[in-house]
Amino acid sequence: MVDIKKEFINIGWIGTGVMGRSMCGHLMDKGFTMTLYNRSREKTDSLINKGAKWVALPSEVAKASDVVFTMLGFPKDVEEVYMGKDGIFSGVKKGSFIVDMTTTSPSLAKRIYSLAKEKGVHAVDAPVSGGDVGARSANLSIMVGGNPEIVEKIRPLLEIMGKKIVHQGPAGSGQHAKMCNQIVIAGTMIGVCESLIYGYKAGLDMKTMLSSISGGAAACWALDNYAPRILNRDFNPGFFVEHFIKDMGIALDEAKRMKLVLPGLALANQLYMSVLAHGGGKSGTQALMLALEQMSNISR
């Protein structure tokens, strides 16, 4: 077995938000030397206290690292971090690895791959599913696009953060698989919220009802993880509404390019835009419940 600590001595991480902070921490727990960058330095404090080194620019992370992971918010953030004046590509070393774990557009993943290839750098797109819970417990599902031999080289690092790592195909394929994931979640979240509204109006004991349906054909991750938060009126983010809207927008754009009609996704996007319009962009995706309650004239 390859000793990954000899293969990848220095790790770089850019983006220490709700999920990135935990994912980076798992790598540090395995003893890797870590160089960090995040726009808000205070969000790196817990990792710096564990021994990570903070630097002022993405290019400095790239210069110091054998492999750089990025976990950002929006495609424009990815573009700036990789291709900006002081971005990764201005400091990256030949032969190193760059792994974007952000959910972004397949076309941007392909651009990053092409630019990396020109510089003799190995690029992989590896978006994740599992939210804050999966990030904290290292149980993420990771969908990977890129050259198979490169994916296999970094697989031991991905396995530190996730329990299911699947190579989907060439560059951009990981992002396409993530779009499939988000399409399922979009429709499922409507079902979870509407079932709770129906049960509430029918006068059911909600926990009793959930104990039944979560053990039957309706069983799913969203029901197990989001329904209890909704019942507790906990709308804190495991995954931001504004980021989910970004993902749905990418999927709808890709569907349009492929001449596909996805009416269910379009409806979910419209409902989440209502959450955004009422100031819920920084809430968790379970805040869809607030918009649906308002439509049904339910006040809590």
Identify whether residues 184 and 253 lie together within a single domain: yes
CB of 239 closer than 8 Å to CB of 285 = yes
In a domain, 300, yes or no: no
Q: Comparing C-alpha atoms, which of 164, 175, 144, 146 is closest to residue 78?
A: 175
How many CA atoms lie within 13 Å of 122's alpha carbon, on the beta-carbon side? 17
Asked if residue 170 has pLDDT above 90, the reply is: yes
On whether both 138 and 229 belong to a single domain, the answer is no
* pTM score: 0.93
Hey, what amino acid is at 275?
A: V
| 124 DSSP assignment | E
Mean pLDDT of the chain: 95
* pLDDT, tens digit, 9 for 90 and up, residues 218-277: 999 999 999 999 999 999 998 999 999 999 999 999 999 999 999 999 999 999 999 999
Structural domain harbouring 270? 176-295
Kindly state whether residues 124 and 189 are assigned to the same domain. Answer: no
Please write the tens of the pLDDT for every residue from 176-203. 999 999 999 999 999 999 999 999 999 9
Please tell me the predicted confidence (pLDDT) of residue 6: 63
The one catalytic residue among 94, 178, 207, 256: 178
At 5 the pLDDT is 63
Q: Where residue 216 sits, what CATH number does that domain have? A: 1.10.1040.10
Question: What confidence tens digit (pLDDT) does each residue in 94-136 have?
Answer: 999 999 999 999 999 999 999 999 999 999 999 999 989 999 9
Helix/strand/coil for 97? strand
Contact assessment for residue 105 and residue 121, using Cβ atoms and an 8 Å cutoff: no
User: Is the CB of residue 61 less than 8 Å from the CB of residue 35?
Assistant: yes
DSSP code, position 54: E
Domain count, the chain: 2
Judge whether 178 counts as a catalytic residue: yes
Task: Give the three-class secondary structure for 161.
Answer: helix
User: Does 148 lie in the same domain as 250?
Assistant: no
